[in-house]
Chains A and B, each alone.
Chain A
Amino acid sequence: MAALIETRDLTLHFGGLRAVDGVDFTLNAGEVHALIGPNGAGKTTFVSLLSGRRLPQSGVILLDGEDITRLPAHQRVRKGIAYTFQITSIFPRLTVFDNVALAIQSRGTKGLVPQTRAALDRVGLAEFEEQEAQTLSYGHQRLLELAMGLALHPRLLILDEPTQGLAASEIEGFKALVQSLVPDTTVLLIEHNMEVVMDIATRITVLNFGQVLASGTPEAIRANPAVQEAYLGA
């Protein structure tokens, strides 16, 4: 499979803290790739580098072979990298409709209304479109966050702890949604819920102290002794 994202020796240190430390990483087009690791392993920092929220100190990021290491975040979004926030980041005082419309209009305003409705339909929020986003329940806000990401029609969708705080039934719906996205959209997922990871990921990369500890299929990761020691705790 072709690599959609490739990083080489990607590094970002905060003072003495090696948040991301020489990461070589390949993300194949069309896969659901889970990024796991203990708290503070550098997962969120790593995806911040991919999405352009932070710039690395050294190393290279390639999108489809093109060097995007220094590209500003909004231009990466236009190239197809969408990021949904770990801590829900919506426009609380705007309507649900406006939240999603903002994502869609960055690619042009043609067919804005039907496209926005379609994006809301996809996550089941269509009936709430007139409501202010802050009045939604937490689970619905997470779905809105996801709808905003999907509305960008990304080639790569980065989900930072998407199931955090969701009810069991909502998690089932979420898994089905993610599986309906591939292979058109490649998904990179930071997730603590190992059941979700084992169910939907086709490949897993384990980060520890800012470095790649292991990378492989769910079965291989489960069987890896180093991973068991560092993270899964056997």
Chain B
Amino acid sequence: MKLVTAIIKPFKLDDVREALHEIGVQGITVTEVKGFGRQKGHTELYRGAEYVVDFLPKVKLEVAVTEALADRVIEAITQAANTGKIGDGKIFVFPIEQVIRIRTGETGADAL
């Protein structure tokens, strides 16, 4: 089992959710986050005073899937979140040690 974590541009969230739905992903977790990478921050200007805002708003999504589905998830996110411009984000993939569904107590792939 793999945990696929992706940081993407906020306006791409709907596209990514649809793409994941199409390949059969059952659930995702979404968090609004701030940060910077190579895109750096942006500047804001108030009555001529310029301020550099270091952190840009991004969306972090987490998808837990079976080994078999992981590559297709990565591919779907890569395609759906791509604009070709700086700041599209990154995908991190982690191994999952255990998954438990709280309601039933199921574990492993059955709980996904």
Q: Do A and B come from one complex?
A: no
Chain B residues at the A interface, C-beta cutoff of 8 Å:
none
